A and B are shown apart, each in its own frame.
Chain A
Amino acid sequence: MGEFDNLERIARDLRKDILIMLNKAGSGHSGGSLSVLDILVALYFGGIMNYDPENPEWEDRDRLVLSKGHACPALYAVLAKAGFFEKGLLWTLRKLGSPLQGHPDSKKLKGIDAATGSLGNGITQAVGMALAGKVLKKRYKVFCVMGDGELQEGVVWEAFMAANHYKLNNLIVIIDYNGLQIDGAVANVMNINPLKDKLEAFGFRTYEIGGHVYKNLIDTLTTAKRNALSPTAIIARTVKGYGVSFMANRVEYHGVAPTDEELKKALKELDNGV
């Protein structure tokens, strides 16, 4: 038994929840939800974040801003598992009246720290939260999970510049680097590399790790929490559609929900631990 078997087991179950949610909704973003999931599982169940599902607005809690808001099915599955709401609510995703909006809405669902979806806006809010932590003399950390394609938005770099200027050592940015965006490979649509150099030039202590390897995630996030000098960026190399063979690395599954048949196939794969 490995040290992180438990997290892997949780992630496998949550992948199933994500696919069922998306299938029931009939629309949504499969690829990015599956790629980001291990990052979120590490944050919520790997002993990284301080939170209290009984008191979701606890002012000393660590904040999570999912700047790539379209991957919210992964966050919803994680929040349900963490006890923020009943799991049954997951099956209402994207339906009229549901607090589980197509992109996260802080006003509708407990546990969502910021409404996101329009790319680049999440990181600006995360910078504001980290700055507020300084003003209010709070020790909380702000974790901002971003997509790699999202980094093409200009405002992201305005936010990074501000994070460095104000020495936001309480801000930890994790980039779900799956290499794909709607129109194709990030490198072909609008290249963001050399990313590590850029982030370092913007004053971030930067790490590059495998984004589906729990040991990497937990070790790096733990180190990032201790960084007292600067904001931290973690480039987590992931696979879009991770965990489902026919979705993996396929750009076609960016914004598509699995059909009934695809769901059956995917669940079987996950059960067999392929």
Chain B
Amino acid sequence: MEFKATREAYGKALVELGEKNEKVVVLDADLSGSTKSKEFQKVFENRFFNMGIAEANMAGVAAGMALSGLRPYASSFAVFITGRAFEIVRQSICYQNLHVVLCGSHSGISVGEDGGSHQSVCDIALMRALPNMKVVVPADYNETYLAVLESINWDGPVYIRTSRAKSPVFINKEKFELGRFDVLKEGDNLTLVACGMMVHLALEVSKLLEKNGIKAEVINASSIKPLDEETLFNSAKKTNLVITIEEHSIIGGLGSAVSEFLSENLPTRVKRIGLNDVFGESGSKDDLFCKYGFTKEKLTEEIKKTLKV
């Protein structure tokens, strides 16, 4: 199996967008090599703007550019572009419903050694709470590429979350559709709803569960806002138990979005798996995933425990 980081797809898609549309401009805050926006700079020097280590100003500048008819893509680490710049993202981008695409790379704990200060465990929560904002967490390189290409056609603000760590490339589809979940595997004992790097892991978990006679439905929830309510409703109705898995705090992210919808529309038991209201710490990606329970063995155990309750 091929392994590639989702941030690589961001850089590649930006170049393609730049070729198709001369209104596309790209901004970064001194992390263009890491976020991969540098790929765009290499080809379109005149449409790339490094704003320096000043994420809040970058967000406002992107808003001003969108108001003037450009199509800005702005990137930084997920923790900074959502947190540091939050107020301007809210006031200047979301309040005016401007078409600005924000890309937060190095999300979750998989960024590893830099530690908790650089790991982003509540970016989805922050962005999801903003009116007009769309939140996309692609599962792999292919899906990220498609989502970034498609984002030029969406109205209003968009947050796309990417990762530094290489992860399996396994999604095969033609087009990314906002507001649509993909059912990757059918099952009727329980539903696993995952996003980002957790989607492939959920598929692995489903194989282990199958050995125990448990058939899990696996859903890729790459469009967290808008949520694919129909797919979620149908699956929950069938399995009656939904387990969410995300590389994010269990507060405010995918698990919350799923719980909010189901509690109002089809009260179903939901178990949220993610970071239990804690910051991350330094360590390798694999060591951290092991410590916080993101391995197929630990997830399988956790799910089996949930089934017994």
Residue in B47, B49, B54, B67 whose beta carbon sits within 8 Å of that of A125 in the complex: B67
Specify which chain A residues have a CB less than 8 angstroms from the CB of B68 in the assembled complex.
Answer: 59, 63, 128-129, 132-133, 136
Q: Is the CB of B61 within 8 A of A131?
A: yes
Specify which chain B residues have a CB less than 8 angstroms from the CB of A130 in the assembled complex.
Answer: 64
Q: Is the CB of A107 within 8 A of B57?
A: no
Q: Is the CB of A127 within 8 A of B57?
A: yes
Name the prevailing secondary structure of the B interface residues: helix
Please give the number of chain B residues whose Cβ is less than 8 angstroms from any Cβ of chain A in the complex.
Answer: 29
Q: Is the CB of A107 within 8 A of B60?
A: no
B-binding segment of A155-163, A226-234, A245-253, A255-263: A155-163
Interface residues on A, range: 20 to 34
B286, CB-defined interface residue at 8 Å: no
Closest Cβ–Cβ distance, residue A63 to chain B (whole Å) = 8
Q: Is the CB of A114 within 8 A of B91?
A: no
Cα–Cα, bound, A114→B72 (Å): 16
A115, CB-defined interface residue at 8 Å: yes
Closest Cβ–Cβ distance, residue A57 to chain B (whole Å) = 10
Q: Is the CB of A136 within 8 A of B60?
A: no
Closest Cβ–Cβ distance, residue A151 to chain B (whole Å) = 14
Within 8 A of A (CB), among B194-213: none
Q: Is the CB of A124 within 8 A of B61?
A: yes
Closest Cβ–Cβ distance, residue A28 to chain B (whole Å) = 19
Closest Cβ–Cβ distance, residue B64 to chain A (whole Å) = 2
Interface string of B28-65 (1 = CB under 8 A from A): 00000000000000000011010110101101111111
Take A132-B65, A159-B60, A166-B49 as given contacts and tell me if A125 and B70 are in contact as well, using a CB distance cutoff of 8 Å.
no
A-B CB contact pairs (8 Å), 19 listed: A105-B95, A105-B96, A113-B67, A115-B95, A118-B88, A121-B88, A124-B56, A124-B61, A125-B60, A125-B61, A127-B64, A129-B67, A131-B64, A132-B64, A133-B68, A135-B47, A155-B60, A158-B54, A162-B52
Chain A contact residues, CB within 8 Å of chain B: 59, 63, 105-107, 113-115, 117-118, 121, 123-133, 135-136, 154-155, 158-159, 161-162, 165-166
